[in-house]
Amino acid sequence: MKTKDKKSFSLSMNDENNKKIHSNERREFFKKGLFYSVGLAAASNALASNGANIDPANLPPNIPSWAKIPGKPVEWHPYGQPSAYEHNVIRRSVPFLSPDPMADVAFSPLQDQNGIITPNGLFFVRDHNGTCIVDPNDYRLIIHGLVDKPIILTLEEIKRYPSESRIHFIECPANGATEWRGAQLDSVQFTKGMLSCAQWTGVPLKIILKDLGLKPNAKWALAEGGDASTMARSIPIEKLLDDAMIVYAQNGEALRPEQGYPVRLIVPGWEGNLNVKWLRRIKIGDKPWHAKEETAKYTMLLPSGKAIQYYWVMDVNSVITSPCPEKPWKDVKIGQKIEIQGIAWSGRGRISAVDITFDGGKNWTKARLKGLILPKSFTRFTIEYIWDGKPIYLASRATDEVGMTQPTIQKLKKIRGVEGVYHRNSITTWEVKANGEVHNVQAIY
Ligand X SMILES: Nc1nc2c(c(=O)[nH]1)N[C@H]1C(S)=C(S)[C@@H](COP(=O)(O)O)O[C@H]1N2
Binding site for ligand X (CB under 6 A): 123-128, 170, 172, 225, 227, 229, 231, 258-259, 272-273, 275-278
> How far is 359 from 429, CA to CA, in rounded Å?
10
- Residue 100 CB, nearest approach to ligand X (Å): 12
Residue 125 interaction partner, one of Mo ion, ligand X, none, beta carbon < 5-8 Å per kind: ligand X
171 vs 243, beta carbon nearer ligand X: 171
Q: How many of the chain's residues bind Mo ion (CB under 5 A)?
A: 4
Residue 276 interaction partner, one of Mo ion, ligand X, none, beta carbon < 5-8 Å per kind: ligand X
37 vs 425, beta carbon nearer ligand X: 425
Residue 123 interaction partner, one of ligand X, Mo ion, none, beta carbon < 5-8 Å per kind: ligand X
193 part of the interface to Mo ion, by CB under 5 A: no
- Residue 315 CB, nearest approach to ligand X (Å): 16
Residue 99: asked if its preceding bond is cis (omega within 30°), the reply is no
Candidates 126-134, 253-261, 280-288, 347-355; binding stretch for Mo ion (CB under 5 A): 126-134
Q: What is the DSSP letter of 435?
A: T
* Pair 207, 214: CB distance under 8 Å: no
Q: What is the Cα Rg of the chain in Å?
A: 23
Residue with the CB atom nearest ligand X in the bound state: 225
- Residue 269 CB, nearest approach to ligand X (Å): 13
Residue 319 interaction partner, one of ligand X, Mo ion, none, beta carbon < 5-8 Å per kind: none
278 vs 381, beta carbon nearer ligand X: 278
Three-class DSSP category at 172: coil
CA torsion angle 64 66 70 74 (round to 10):
-140
272 vs 285, beta carbon nearer Mo ion: 272
* Cross-strand partners of 379: 344
172 part of the interface to Mo ion, by CB under 5 A: yes
Helix, strand, coil percentages, rounded to 5, for the chain: 25, 30, 45
Three-class DSSP category at 245: strand
* Pair 443, 393: CB distance under 8 Å: yes
Pick one of 33, 176, 272, 285: the residue that binds Mo ion (CB under 5 A): 272
143 vs 369, beta carbon nearer ligand X: 143
- Residue 228 CB, nearest approach to ligand X (Å): 9
- Residue 295 CB, nearest approach to ligand X (Å): 9
- Residue 271 CB, nearest approach to ligand X (Å): 7
126 part of the interface to Mo ion, by CB under 5 A: yes
Candidates 32-40, 53-61, 118-126, 308-316; binding stretch for Mo ion (CB under 5 A): 118-126
* Pair 38, 50: CB distance under 8 Å: no
264 vs 327, beta carbon nearer Mo ion: 264
> How far is 230 from 152, CA to CA, in rounded Å?
18
314 vs 395, beta carbon nearer ligand X: 314
Three-class DSSP category at 355: strand
Residue 134 interaction partner, one of ligand X, Mo ion, none, beta carbon < 5-8 Å per kind: none
> How far is 353 from 335, CA to CA, in rounded Å?
27
Residue with the CB atom nearest Mo ion in the bound state: 172
104 vs 431, beta carbon nearer Mo ion: 104
Q: Where are the beta strands (DSSP E) in 189-228?
A: 195-204, 220-225
> How far is 35 from 68, CA to CA, in rounded Å?
42
Cα 6 to the center of its chain, rounded Å: 31
* Helix spans in 262-336 (H): none
Candidates 88-96, 125-133, 203-211, 430-438; binding stretch for Mo ion (CB under 5 A): 125-133
> How far is 256 from 219, CA to CA, in rounded Å?
31
123 vs 345, beta carbon nearer ligand X: 123
Q: How far is CA 125 from CA 106, 108, 193, 337, 385, in A?
A: 5, 8, 10, 36, 34
> How far is 283 from 381, CA to CA, in rounded Å?
41
273 part of the interface to Mo ion, by CB under 5 A: yes
122 vs 409, beta carbon nearer ligand X: 122
* Pair 327, 321: CB distance under 8 Å: yes
- Residue 255 CB, nearest approach to Mo ion (Å): 17
